[in-house]
Amino acid sequence: MDQRAATLALPETPRSFGFFVDGQTIEAGPRGHFERRSPGHDVPVTRMPKCTKADLDMAVAAARRAFEDGRWSRIPAVERADVLLRAAQILRRRTEEIAYWETLENGKPISQARAEVGGCAGMFEYAAGAARALHGDAFNNLGEGMFGVVTREPIGVVGLITPWNFPFLILCERVPYILAAGCTIVAKPSEVTSATTLLLAEVLAEAGLPAGCYNVVTGSGSTVGQAMTEHADIDMVSFTGSTAVGRRCVAAAAGNFKKLGLELGGKNPQIVFADADLEDAADGVAFGIGFNTGQCCVSGSRLIVERSVARDFEAMVAAKLAKAKVGDPLDPETQIGAITTTAQNDTILGYIANGKQEGARLVCGGDRLDFGRGQYIAPTLFGDVTGTMAIAREEIFGPVLAVMPFDTMEEAIAIANDTVYGLAASVWTKNIDKALTVSRRVRAGRFWVNTTLAGGPELPIGGFKQSGWGREAGIYGVEEYTQVKSVHIEIGRRQPWVG
Ligand code: TXE
The answer, yes or no, to whether any atom of ligand 1 lies below 6 A from the CB of 394, is no
Q: How many whole angstroms separate alpha carbon 469 and alpha carbon 35?
A: 33
Q: How many whole angstroms separate alpha carbon 67 and alpha carbon 75?
A: 11
The answer, yes or no, to whether any atom of ligand 1 lies below 6 A from the CB of 335, is no
Question: Residues 14-51: pLDDT tens digits?
Answer: 999 999 999 999 999 999 999 999 999 999 999 999 99
Pair 104, 38: CB distance under 8 Å: yes
Q: How many whole angstroms separate alpha carbon 251 and alpha carbon 265?
A: 18
Select which of 105, 125, 191, 263 is catalytic. Answer: 263
Residue 59 has pLDDT above 60, yes or no: yes
The answer, yes or no, to whether any atom of ligand 1 lies below 6 A from the CB of 223, is no
Question: Beta 259-263 vs 236-240: how paired, if at all?
Answer: parallel
Q: CA-based Rg of the chain, rounded to a whole angstrom?
A: 24
CA of 250 to the centre of ligand 1 (A): 14
CA of 172 to the centre of ligand 1 (A): 18
The pLDDT value recorded for residue 71 is 98
Which residue from 252, 196, 185, 197 is spatially nearest to 222, judged by alpha carbons?
Answer: 252
pTM: 0.97
> Burial, 347: exposed, middle or buried (Cβ in 10 Å; 0-12, 13-18, 19+)?
middle
Q: How many whole angstroms separate alpha carbon 132 and alpha carbon 306?
A: 47
CA of 264 to the centre of ligand 1 (A): 9
The pLDDT value recorded for residue 464 is 98
Question: For residue 244, which atom of ligand 1 is closest to its CA?
Answer: 23
Q: Set out the domains of the chain in order of their start, with CATH numbers.
A: 3-264+467-485 (3.40.605.10), 269-449 (3.40.309.10)
102 included as an active-site residue: no
Q: How many whole angstroms separate alpha carbon 83 and alpha carbon 125?
A: 10
Question: Residues 447-457: pLDDT tens digits?
Answer: 999 999 999 99
Q: State mean pLDDT over 428-448.
A: 98
Question: For residue 467, which atom of ligand 1 is closest to its CA?
Answer: 41
CA of 455 to the centre of ligand 1 (A): 22
The pLDDT value recorded for residue 1 is 36
- pLDDT-derived band at 4, boundaries 50, 70, 90: low
- pLDDT-derived band at 499, boundaries 50, 70, 90: confident
The chain-wide mean pLDDT, for the chain, equals 97
Residue 7 has pLDDT above 50, yes or no: no
Q: State mean pLDDT over 9-13.
A: 95
Question: Residues 281-313: pLDDT tens digits?
Answer: 999 999 999 999 999 999 999 999 999 999 999
Question: For residue 191, which atom of ligand 1 is closest to its CA?
Answer: 19
Pair 26, 43: CB distance under 8 Å: no
The pLDDT value recorded for residue 238 is 98
